[in-house]
Amino acid sequence: MAGMIGITRSGLVTSVGLTAPSACAAMRARLANPTTTDFVSAGEAVLAHCIPLTRGVRGRRKHVVMAAMAIQECLVGIEPAQWEKIPLLLCVAERDRPGRLDGLERDLIDSIEQEVGARFGADSAMVPEGHVAAAMALLLARRLIAGGHRQVLIAAVDSYVNWPTLAAMLAADRLLTSRNSNGFMPGEGAGALLAEPDDGGDVRCGGLGFAREPAHIDSDTPLRGDGLAQAIGAALAESGSTLEQIDFRVGDMSGEQYYFKEASLAISRLLRKPKERFELWHPADCIGETGAVAGIASIVMASVACRKGYAPGHRFLAHMATDDGRRAACVFHYGVS
């Protein structure tokens, strides 16, 4: 398998748990914790999956605190003095996302470094790619590791729980409300993964694939699932696997029918033999729409399941999609060649 890297540590901050073990235990139990927000639309309070931090911590400050929590969990046991050898690839919302915080690229990494009390490697960078940011960061991490780095930290932080974003989603009729069942519930959070050279064990990423879908969610073009099918096919080819060999899937869909239909169409184009069981997991059921965090949350959820022995198998596929048509897929293996 070309360019395989290992995923050895993780951190996760969600509305159902502020650490990866607690969040994954809650997601395994299908628990959710939506709360009533201060935002109101048509006389109805908007529900969201909010992170319970100290009152008054919001906006940029909340991004910094959530990211720091996930990073510190991921790097526990590694002396902060060693962190300056580890590049940080920070996944955030795409630049044109409604309600996105201004100036994220300018100083968010610096603010996080101040919060954790340590510096990260000189090759640190922002990955403002929204839902596909985790896959893009894995690709960048693979290049950095091939270039000599022993460890690369991938982190993500995002929030849909702000009025500019909620107003745009409500105007587009995309939020889940009492009047709209074809929508998502907003969420927020942070996550982190530590990538290292493959040592033949633990969770390994062996295939990445990227494509574009012309029939994106705002398009009038009939949806055929071509873009996601191309991304999945490329990831499978790079990993040396077939779809029949994959045991289960994790996706970033958060409630809208479009993305579930797309996933079904893509799989139908690639699956050559019927599978008796091919589960599709989607953590947004429990943590809401978390934007750039969705990909990392999916990977952490599946990785923990593999390590703890309750996953349907040792090979899983993670796929991701943005509203503007970008598609990504990653193939992972746990403890198998």
Q: Check whether residue 317 and residue 209 sit in a common domain.
A: yes
CB 206 within 8 Å of CB 160:
no
Q: Each residue of 86-110: pLDDT tens digit?
A: 999 999 999 999 989 888 888 999 9
Domain match, 193 and 218 both: no
Same domain for 146 and 236, yes or no, is no
Specify the number of domains making up the chain. Answer: 2
pLDDT for the residue numbered 202: 87
Angstrom distance (rounded) from CA 240 to CA 55: 49
Residue 61 sits in the same domain as residue 104: yes
- Of 22, 8, 6, 12, which is closest to residue 294 (Cα–Cα)? 12
Looking at the predicted structure, is the pLDDT value of residue 12 above 60? yes
Instruction: Identify the pLDDT of residue 335.
Output: 84
pLDDT tens digit string along 155-192? Answer: 999 999 999 999 999 999 999 998 899 999 999 999 99
Task: Say how far apart CA 229 and CA 191 lie, in whole Å.
Answer: 26
Query: Which of 171, 197, 223 is the endpoint of a domain?
Result: 197
Do 175 and 297 have their domain in common?
A: no
- Percent share of the chain, pLDDT over 90: 85
The pLDDT score that the predictor gives to residue 336 is 60
Q: What is the predicted pLDDT for the residue at 41?
A: 81
Same structural domain, 107 and 28: yes
Same domain assignment for residues 175 and 42: yes
**CATH number of the domain residue 249 falls in:** 3.40.47.10
pLDDT band at 52 (very low <50, low <70, confident <90, very high): confident
Residue 2 has pLDDT above 60, yes or no: no
Tell whether 61 and 161 lie within a shared domain: yes
The predicted-structure confidence for 294-326, as pLDDT tens digits, reads as follows 999 999 999 999 999 999 999 999 999 999 999
Distance CA(71)–CA(322), nearest Å, equals 25
Contact present, 327 and 211 (Cβ < 8 Å): yes
* 191-240 pLDDT per residue, tens: 999 999 987 668 999 999 999 999 999 898 999 999 999 999 999 999 99
- 106 and 236 share one domain: no
What pLDDT is stored for residue 56 in this prediction? 67
Domain with 278, as residue range(s), is 203-334
Residue 250 β-bridge partners: 281, 318
Do residue 213 and residue 190 come from a single domain? no
pTM of the model: 0.95
Instruction: Transcribe 200-269 into DSSP letters.
Output: SSSEEEEEEEEEE-SS-TT--SPP--HHHHHHHHHHHHHHT--GGG--EEEE---S-HHHHHHHHHHHHH
Domain boundary residue, one of 135, 164, 197: 197
Q: Which amino acid is at 299?
A: I
pLDDT at 55 over 90: no
Rounded CA gap, 110 and 120, in Å?
9
**Cβ of 219: how many Cβ atoms within 10 Å?**
12
Whether residue 120 sits in one domain with residue 158: yes
- For residues 84 and 192, membership in a common domain is answered with yes
* Domain end (from 197, 227, 251): 197
What does the mean pLDDT of the chain come to? 94
